[in-house]
Amino acid sequence: MTTTSAPNQATPSRSRRIIAITLAIIAALVVAFFVFANLYADWLWYDQLGFDSVLLTQWTARVVMFVVGFLGMAVPVWLSIQLAYRLRPVYARLSSQLDRYQEVVEPLRRLAMWGIPIFFGFFAGFAASAQWETTWLWLNGVQTTVTDPQFHLDTGFYLFAMPFYGALLGFVSATLLICLLVTALVSYLYGSVRVGNRELRISKAARIQLAVIAGIYLLVQGASIWLDRYQTLVEPGAQGRITGPGYTEANAVIQGQTILAIIAVIVALLFFVTAIIGRWRYPLIGTALLIVSAIVLGIGYPWVVTTFQAVPNQKAYESPYYERNLKMTKEAYGIDTVEKTEFSAKTTAEPGQLRADADTTAQIRIMDPAIIGPTVRQLEQYRQYYQFGDPLDVDRYEIDGEMQDTIVSVRDLNMSQLGAGSTWVNETLVYTHGYGMIAAAGNERTADGNPVFLERGIPATGFLSDNENFQPRVYFGETSPTYSIVGAPEGTPPIELDYPSGGDSATGPRTTFSGDGGPSVGNIFNRIIYALKFQSEQILFSDDVNDDSQILYDRNPLDRVQKAAPYLELDSDPYPTVVDGRIKWVVDGYTLSANYPYSTTVPLSQAIADSNNQQPRFALDDINYIRNSVKATVDAYDGSVTLYAWDPEDPLLQAWQNVYPATVKPISDMSADLISHVRYPTDLFKVQRAMLQIYHVDDPGSFYERDNAWATPEDPQNSNTLQPPYYLTMQMPGQDAASFSMFTSFIPSSTTGTTSRNVLMGYLAADSNAGREAGKKGEDYGKLRLLEISADTPVPGPGQVQNRFDSDPTVSQQINVLTIGQSEVLNGNLLTLPVGGGLLYVQPVFVQAAEGTQLPQLRKVLVAFGDDIAFEDTLNEALDVLFGGDSGVDTGDGGVVPDPGTTPTPEPTEPGTETPGTGVPSAEFEAALADAQQAMLDRDAALKAGDLTAFAEADARLTAAVSTLLELSGQ
């Protein structure tokens, strides 16, 4: 018999190993370079902007927190495994099953003893890195001098320390649990813990290790329960009616948590005793007692107090806690200084009634920025690659010594309209910037219903461009290209299209960017970095990219401010303005928190949603504290970002300034011109009005009964969405002079819209005039004035007024005239003004083509005061008609004579034959109107059927009917 040996197992050749290792190293280097390229591009962007310290702070904090988290998890887990293994019994008799387990585990033991801690360490490191802001705020927190009414601690504890302690205790708890599990597992595998014959045996070393870890874990749980006492101040209480402890929480829950924390500490001590004496009975009994106590004190006792004390006597028992909630909520939202005025509104219009309100009526805005956008585009767009904001923005300027409310927008780029011209060269090197800005008077109109432009055109002309330092180019806007490459050495022929010329064959003047707006791509290395970032090889190979080239990106003003100040939540409505000859975007920044004690929480996205802003999203949505702490500007030419500490007393801003030192300038650095264009922020006002719907009351009893709860009315033009607040120059009752303000109104609250009574209950205005003094806010800026309207004389709300406008027969007949042919009517914003001792409603009415080129033009103005309405060509005429022939004031359109061929105004031909109050012959006029409508239907039917004879006959009848209508209207 012969035997043959088994062939030797094939082993990889040395060359194959070298190739595999080489490929792995190359792959690792490629990945590392891509990561480096992304980080380096970020560094270049921040360094050019001058906010490199922001990026360095974030990188440093994240790395430090990752290391702390990694070591904080990996070291205890590694130590637990090592101790459990090294202190194993050497001669322990193991079961056959454990022997098999060890045979499997032993070859991997070294890898597992290091790999398991590293594995958990990486997860913990990334989790800790995500909490760096919480940690840095704790390290840099400040005192607020305001204390909570329950524990009398500084509110800074809740804003800065409590979130950190909660995160720290959660991290330590997770670490201890993992240590406990791996200790038990290793001890079991190596015989320190044996289970068999209904008996559990634990070696002395394992007992000490397990008992100590369990004791520390219970100490941490005791600290966590103790911290939960303070957490009740930012959680729903009083059966969910307020945020913060109610009667049950203050008298049962907090006391129960105190007792539970003490019990947890006692049980922890019992585990430490067990580590010494070896008896498990006492800590196990203590643990069972802790669980029973948690059920009794955490659930049972609060239920008893709620059921037998709090609910039957809710108003009396909860009133002190409602009062706490009222006070702290008002402070948290900045509504504690609202100036309230009882207002008995007049509802009867009399001649000369508005004479004392001439300053307000002179600035009533009849140009709706949400409607006239298409008109502005048709008149001012010039080329398809330009566009304006939608809706347009509102600002004010001093012109010839008078303040003028204006509708404004920059002429920005729209690269999607380049069509066949959409090439990399055009999109990146040629079409690099928008040009100019339009400004139209908000209170004026032309004879044909168009805006009156105060600044317009290409090249720019108007009161803004008259400034010799005016810079019209917009390289940084809301719709700027993703990136542009600009700049060239002096003497190089410019290639950037500045603006189009008038001639069809001319290409227009060219320009070269001369600012410092982006990182340099003048060297080959930076070109490679940005070619990778934007996945564009043209950046690397284009001959037009030169030594002086810069790359402009992240050009939206909101994006730039967000990156420069990542701790801010930004207002959803940035607006452009001209400051010292430069177009600048003004962005409002908020500091938010959800940890202000006894302050009611509001969903931010829900509070600011309305017909102009329907789907906002926020990282921190549920908040109970807000401050407009920062005003930021972004230069539209070079993209420079400047942050100003608008509310330097805000503790959150103070803490963030400690985190990011020297990034926010004091308000004293703001120029007078910039101050004059600062306005009260939209989103803050919306949040405040949302809170004032309930928190306008001061009495806890009224707060409990909700007998005077309010709601924000729906937008009359957009059902199921709230009416947005509006900016207007007006004078509130008790105010010395008219001021640029923002207003909103309130109606009674109702759970269903169909049963709500749409009458005015309140009228809120915020003074938005910051003054004109450099480095100083206006004394009344931000002052909230609330008119609490007396219920004795009901004042119709926006919904009632809109219904009255729509259903009035006079208005309906004239609207029908406006819609004859291919036209449609658009109702503008319904403004409410406190003038004449009452509340005046003003609504502009626009007409545009139903199809094709649409150019909304102002044709009529609706006004209402009390139960009276008027519908005329101009606001001036409408007010005169409404107030008995002479309102006593002149409005911005007082000198306008509307084009008579555009707006039919029916007038009587024979006294006594008109419809009452309309001046329109009812029988003849309505017969002609019916003929016109029938002719339109017949004409459309003939066109669809292809019957050209019938179409011509119907068209002739329509022309005749329209002529009759115009005759009856006196045109």
- Of 235-244, 306-315, 354-363, 901-910, give the lowest mean pLDDT range: 901-910
Q: State how far the alpha carbon of 659 is from the alpha carbons of 141, 160, 664, in Å.
A: 9, 13, 11
pLDDT digits (tens, 9 = 90+) for 680-726: 999 999 999 999 999 999 999 899 988 889 999 999 988 889 999 99
pLDDT digits (tens, 9 = 90+) for 871-929: 999 999 999 999 988 898 999 888 888 875 444 443 333 333 344 333 444 466 667 76
CB 497 within 8 A of CB 428: no
pLDDT digits (tens, 9 = 90+) for 75-128: 999 999 999 888 877 655 556 666 666 666 677 778 888 999 999 999 999 999
In DSSP terms, which residues pair with 550 in a beta bridge?
486, 520
* CB atoms near residue 42 (< 10 Å): 16
Element (H, E) at 593: strand 582-593
- Of 136-150, 498-512, 804-818, give the lowest mean pLDDT range: 498-512
pLDDT digits (tens, 9 = 90+) for 581-595: 999 999 999 999 999
Instruction: Determine the Cα–Cα distance for residues 130 and 136; give it in Å rounded to an integer.
Output: 12
* Residue 791: band (very low, low, confident or very high) from pLDDT cuts 50, 70, 90: confident
Q: Quick one: tokens of 299?
A: 């659930």
CB 393 within 8 A of CB 477: no
- pLDDT mean over 50-72: 96
User: What's the pLDDT score for residue 903?
Assistant: 44
Instruction: Determine the Cα–Cα distance for residues 720 and 615; give it in Å rounded to an integer.
Output: 13
φ, ψ of residue 810 to 5 degrees: the values are: -65, -50
pTM for the full predicted model: 0.88
pLDDT digits (tens, 9 = 90+) for 542-595: 999 999 999 999 999 999 999 999 999 999 999 999 999 999 999 999 999 999
- pLDDT mean over 942-961: 70
pLDDT digits (tens, 9 = 90+) for 458-486: 988 999 988 888 999 999 999 999 999 99
User: What's the pLDDT score for residue 556?
Assistant: 96
CB 148 within 8 A of CB 158: yes
Looking at every residue in the chain, the average pLDDT score rounds to 88
Instruction: Determine the Cα–Cα distance for residues 433 and 472; give it in Å rounded to an integer.
Output: 10
- Reply yes or no: is the peptide bond before residue 844 cis, omega within 30 of 0: no
- pLDDT mean over 297-312: 92
DSSP state of 107: G
User: What's the pLDDT score for residue 647?
Assistant: 96
Q: State how far the alpha carbon of 891 is from the alpha carbons of 447, 740, 836, 896, in Å.
A: 15, 16, 15, 10
Task: Give the closest residue to 638 by CA, choosing from 571, 585, 569.
Answer: 585
Instruction: Determine the Cα–Cα distance for residues 541 and 851; give it in Å rounded to an integer.
Output: 47
Instruction: Determine the Cα–Cα distance for residues 891 and 360; give it in Å rounded to an integer.
Output: 9
Q: Quick one: tokens of 93?
A: 């008799």
User: What's the pLDDT score for residue 105?
Assistant: 67
DSSP 3-state of 961 = helix
pLDDT digits (tens, 9 = 90+) for 413-441: 999 888 888 899 999 999 999 999 999 99
Instruction: Determine the Cα–Cα distance for residues 839 and 866; give it in Å rounded to an integer.
Output: 8
Q: Quick one: tokens of 958?
A: 């329509």
Q: Quick one: tokens of 725?
A: 């607040």
User: What's the pLDDT score for residue 505?
Assistant: 46
pLDDT digits (tens, 9 = 90+) for 41-60: 999 999 999 999 999 999 99
pLDDT digits (tens, 9 = 90+) for 846-857: 999 888 788 899
Q: How far is CA 708 from the centre of its chain?
A: 29
Quick one: what percent of the chain has pLDDT higher than 90? 68
pLDDT digits (tens, 9 = 90+) for 139-175: 999 999 899 999 999 999 999 999 999 999 999 999 9
Q: How far is CA 391 from the centre of its chain?
A: 17
Sign of CA dihedral 916, 919, 920, 923: positive
- Of 4-8, 449-453, 794-798, give the lowest mean pLDDT range: 4-8
Instruction: Determine the Cα–Cα distance for residues 855 and 808; give it in Å rounded to an integer.
Output: 26
Q: State how far the alpha carbon of 932 is from the alpha carbons of 700, 764, 914, in Å.
A: 62, 46, 20
Instruction: Determine the Cα–Cα distance for residues 633 and 907; give it in Å rounded to an integer.
Output: 53
DSSP string, 120-136: HHHHHHHHHHTTHHHHH
Beta-carbon-side half-sphere exposure of residue 313 (alpha carbons within 13 Å): 9
DSSP 3-state of 970 = coil
Q: Quick one: tokens of 704?
A: 């409990």
pLDDT digits (tens, 9 = 90+) for 715-741: 998 888 999 999 999 999 988 899 999
DSSP 3-state of 16 = helix
DSSP 3-state of 872 = strand
E strands, 227-364, are: 236-237, 242-243, 339-343
Sign of CA dihedral 344, 345, 348, 349: positive
φ, ψ of residue 946 to 5 degrees: the values are: 80, 15
DSSP string, 352-420: TTTGGGHHHHTT---S-TTTSHHHHHHHH--STTEE--SSPEEEEEEETTEEEEEEEEE-EE-GGG-GG
In the numeric block, the tokens 């006792």 are attached to 301
